[in-house]
Chain A
Amino acid sequence: MLMHRYANPTRFIRIADTIFPWAGGIMVAAFVIGLYLALLTSPADYQQSEMVRIMYIHVPAAWMALFTYAFMALSSAAVLIWKHPLALLSAKAAAPIGASFTVICLATGSLWGKPMWGTWWVWDARLTSVLILLFLYLGYIALINAFDESERGGKAASLLALVGAINLPIIKYSVDWWNTLHQPASVFRLDGPAIHSDMLWPLIVMAIAFKMFLLTTLLTRVKSELTAVRVRNIQRSLNGNLV
């Protein structure tokens, strides 16, 4: 299988080392351009004036929270179906990053909500389902670290990630299915984006920046997980195969 070619850790590390500088460079450039566009040149909203600029952090963070969970669910499927060795490490590495994106999304949303909508929090469908996403991330991290033998934790957590994937369409369509304080979809709609390109472009650039951040952090974490596995193997062989 093609993907098993890339399961070789040495080959993976070589590829990761090649990609990393490019991803890092694009990330820095995208953040600089994106923040310039978002904070300085993009227009202030006619109702929200300058406060709308939180959107350029809040929305990409939300997109990345969902994307990272989808990535984790796909990796977990690869673990369970094909027992792909790197898939477990990539899912394990992605979990804290995704949880951080979710926290950023919830926190910036809360900070935006108080001056604009008058409340730090509301129990509508969108916010509640994103909070559930955060709990799923935390549950995944807890489960994967709960066992003394790491293989058990990996398989159990992969099952949990797959079971929790049902939350992703619920989050996406929550603003359509229920009456929510959170606004309906403005970008990813069947009719095309409903916001002006002056706001859309900074959003897209920030989204690219966030995605490159995920890529660089993920590559670093997977490489460190591989090193940790190597250290564990050395320790095990030093102890005469007693864990």
Chain B
Amino acid sequence: MKVFLALLVRDLRVAVRQSSDGVMVLSFYIIAIVLFPLGLGPNPQTLASLAPGLLCVAALLAAILSLEGLFRSDFEDGSLELMAVSPNDLAIQVFAKITAHWITTGLPLILVTPFLAFLLNLPIQALLTLMLAMALATPSLSLIGAVGASLTVGARRSSVLISVLVLPLYIPVLIFAVSAIDAVLLTYSPKPHLMLLGAIFAAAMPLCTITTTVALRQALE
């Protein structure tokens, strides 16, 4: 627990001092959402019907942007090797890094989403479900993305490679998140979809952490 907190605080401190990564993700998300009304035309009904999908896809793409840097700087300066050979469990340290990644990228996305939802004319009754869906989906995005990032750490052109690897695995998260918001817009209950999102998160937490740890050990050999 102490190790987890120590590494978490260290990563958050680094992220705050070098805030370009988090700002870049947020800017991409906002710019992408702003581009859609400009491209699709300002018709409010069109935007409202497309809003759930647009918000989730843009958040997904913004999350992918940030994945390359998850392990890169630690890999390059040797801290990853230190973490691997230290007496502490690498899995706990990896989980701390993933949590820090979510706090610095996923959490800002969730907080900005209501404003962007208004830009896209999303009906207000869907707002709570939207926030819940994003809150359940973004941790899974960080976890699954960490698997992709750990598989490609040290590779050339790893940012594009990460997208190719991670997008197929992101698709269920995307589908359930959008289905939850669409359900509430059609006055059905979003609970089944939100519960499935939660299930994916619950499954991803141990599985992705372990997979990431194994992949990082392969990378460090």
A residues bordering B, Cβ < 8 Å?
128, 132, 135-136, 138-139, 142-143, 146-148, 151-153, 155-157, 159-160, 163-164, 167
Contact = CB atoms under 8 A, between A and B. Distances in A.
7 contacts: A128-B171, A135-B167, A143-B165, A146-B152, A146-B156, A157-B151, A167-B168
B157 A146 contact: yes
A142 B161 contact: yes
A222 B219 CA distance: 25
A139 to B, nearest CB: 5
A143 B171 contact: no
B171 A132 contact: yes
Interface in B148-206: 151-152, 154-158, 161, 164-165, 167-169, 171
Nearest to B208: A163
Interface residues of B, number: 21
A103 to B, nearest CB: 16
Interface of B: 147, 151-152, 154-158, 161, 164-165, 167-169, 171, 211, 214-215, 218-219, 221
Contacts of A153: 155
Nearest to A133: B168
Contact of B151 (A128, A135, A148, A156): A156
Contact of B164 (A135, A147, A157, A163): A135
Contacts of A159: 147, 151, 211, 214-215, 218
A152 B168 contact: no
Given A146-B161, A155-B221, A163-B211, 19 more contacts: A132-B171, A135-B167, A139-B161, A139-B168, A143-B152, A143-B161, A143-B165, A146-B152, A146-B155, A146-B158, A147-B154, A148-B156, A152-B155, A152-B218, A152-B219, A155-B215, A156-B215, A159-B151, A160-B165
Contacts of A157: 151
A151 B218 CA distance: 9
Nearest to B169: A163
A138 B211 CA distance: 20
A180 to B, nearest CB: 14
A139 B164 CA distance: 6
B163 to A, nearest CB: 9
Given A128-B171, A132-B171, A152 B164 contact: no
Contacts of A142: 161, 164-165
Contacts of B161: 139, 142-143, 146
Nearest to A153: B155
A41 to B, nearest CB: 40
A138 B164 contact: yes
Nearest to A162: B211
B158 A156 contact: no
A164 B166 CA distance: 10
A156 B219 contact: yes
Contacts of B218: 152, 155-156, 159
Most chain-A Cβ atoms within 10 A of its Cβ — which of B165, B215, B219?
Answer: B165
